[in-house]
Structure 1
Amino acid sequence: MRLEVERLSTGYGRVPVVRDVGFTIEPGRLTAILGHNGAGKTTLLRAIVGVLPAREGSIRFSGTEVSRLRPHLRVRRGLAYVPQGQQAFGQLTAAENLRLVADYYGAAGRRRVADALDLFPALRELLARPAGLLSGGQRQQLAIARALVTDPELLVLDEPTEGIQPSVVTEIQEAIATLTRARELSVLLVEQHVGFAVAAADEFLVLTSGRLSHRGPGGPGAAAEAHRVLAL
């Protein structure tokens, strides 16, 4: 899916947060959004997925204007969103969390559960455990796996490694890299681990006070530039 954001402005009530932001993600590419706390990163993602309305500008999926569509209709067009905070239905088992989504898609959904578990094999031993008893990292893996069951073309991730133990951070980082390389999935990533985010990205963007202040090519050698920009 090609994501095109053009002159997008949004906020909460009468308070503007994101102003005049524009960028494009080509199919199979990963774009990382960086910025200090309060820069508007999560607000931008919420507008793209439809949780917040776009006050101005446009959002297009593969050439189709979607900025007035409700979130579930954007999901049907190939969007999946994993918000910040290891989202899961705590009273349900890990397997039931996955089945809630898979049953909507029938046999195809059940096949996608198997594919998602191949990406996070540690979850296979935890399927019978209530999600509320999983660690933060395990719940985050479960949330990403559940999103993948929808067979998205664009995966939007908000701080997927926040507050997670280092060993699981590595597993999530490897899974994201696999998704973009092997599955040609477009990924929009907000992440505080600058080194990982920039190394994995094809392009990184920096938000400052709700405006796009810098963009640059990603890759293993780009972290120094990203840190320099963030220090300004």
Structure 2
Amino acid sequence: MLQFDNVHVGYGRSVVLHGISADVPAGGVAAVLGHNGAGKSTLLRAAIGLLKPRQGTIRLDGEDITGLAPHQRVARGMAYVPQGQQSFPHLTTAENLQLVADGRPGGKEATAEALDLFPALTGLLGRRAGLLSGGQRQQLAIARALITRPRVLLLDEPTEGIQPTVVAEIEQTILAVAGRGGVSVLLVEQHVGFALAAAGRYYVLEAGRVTSSGQGGEDARTAVRQALSV
């Protein structure tokens, strides 16, 4: 569904990604792992169009989207959840969801579907987002993205700073999203166990290069931990 072919990306004169080639399967989860500064978030920013590759190609379902603006990629079915449990803190949970749903065909139904995936938010609809816990804000951020009914969901460190019980809920939601309706997920994550449990394929980045890749699952833990220890 989403393909990176020899992608080079940088900031100013600095090159951060060096010839990245990776695939996100249709209806599946691909995890990108690596230490801080490895280039994981840069890869997502390039995927959604916030950074333009200096070389290489990004394709969405076979279409070359390398030169498209972020809003054009969103219109084609991409959704991006950056780090930081982002929301509009002075608006309620319901208002945060409504901002995305308003004017969107099927927005009301999509909101109901998102709340079905995160039932904890149902009791928090009248609470301002700034008063939610970090885990609740992360669930809200993912729910907002799901209201767009994306074909590809980009998640940047969804478990960062989240309590373990909520991490398990987010993991199950990602699996449910990928298994329902053919949504593809590109997951940037530092927690190896969570990432490999969710992903059918993984990529390890080190200094902007893929140093290890393969099939996800429990059997991949040793290979990934060895790659990350280098």
Pairwise TM-score range, normalised by the shorter structure? over 0.9
2:212–2:224: 8 Å Cα contact kept in structure 1? no
Match of 1:203 among 184, 201, 204: 201
The yes-or-no answer on 1:116 pairing with 2:114 is yes
Matched residues, percent identical? 55
Q: Which amino acid aligns with 2:27?
A: G
Paired residue secondary structure (1:104): coil
The yes-or-no answer on 1:57 pairing with 2:51 is no
Q: Which amino acid aligns with 2:77?
A: G
2:8–2:20: 8 Å Cα contact kept in structure 1? yes
Paired residue secondary structure (2:66): coil
In structure 2, distance between residues paired with 1:11 and 1:186: 26
Q: 1:114-139 deviations in whole A, cap 9, x for unaligned?
A: 00000000000000101011011000
CA-CA distance at 1:182 after TM superposition: 2.6
Aligned to 2:185: 187
CA-CA distance at 1:104 after TM superposition: 2.6
TM-score (norm 1): 0.97
In structure 2, distance between residues paired with 1:138 and 1:75: 24
In structure 2, distance between residues paired with 1:199 and 1:174: 10
Q: Which amino acid aligns with 1:52?
A: L
1:199–1:223: 8 Å Cα contact kept in structure 2? no
Aligned to 2:101: 102
Aligned to 1:166: 164
Q: Which amino acid aligns with 1:208?
A: E
Q: Which amino acid aligns with 1:85?
A: G
In structure 2, distance between residues paired with 1:38 and 1:26: 25
Q: Which amino acid aligns with 1:225?
A: A
In structure 2, distance between residues paired with 1:56 and 1:121: 43
TM-score (norm 2): 0.98
Q: 1:166-194 deviations in whole A, cap 9, x for unaligned?
A: 11111111101111123321000011110
Aligned to 1:93: 92
In structure 2, distance between residues paired with 1:33 and 1:4: 13
Q: Which amino acid aligns with 2:83?
A: Q
Could you list the runs of 5+ residues in structure 2 that have no partner in the other structure?
none
In structure 2, distance between residues paired with 1:61 and 1:216: 21
Aligned to 1:66: 65
In structure 2, distance between residues paired with 1:60 and 1:40: 19
Paired residue secondary structure (1:195): helix
Aligned to 1:217: 215
In structure 2, distance between residues paired with 1:50 and 1:198: 26
CA-CA distance at 1:217 after TM superposition: 0.7
In structure 2, distance between residues paired with 1:17 and 1:137: 30
Q: 1:22-41 deviations in whole A, cap 9, x for unaligned?
A: 11222111100011111000
Could you list the runs of 5+ residues in structure 1 that have no partner in the other structure?
none
In structure 1, distance between residues paired with 2:179 and 2:61: 20
Q: Which amino acid aligns with 1:40?
A: G
CA-CA distance at 1:222 after TM superposition: 1.6
In structure 1, distance between residues paired with 2:179 and 2:127: 31
Report the RMSD for the aligned CA atoms in angstroms: 0.9
Aligned to 2:175: 177
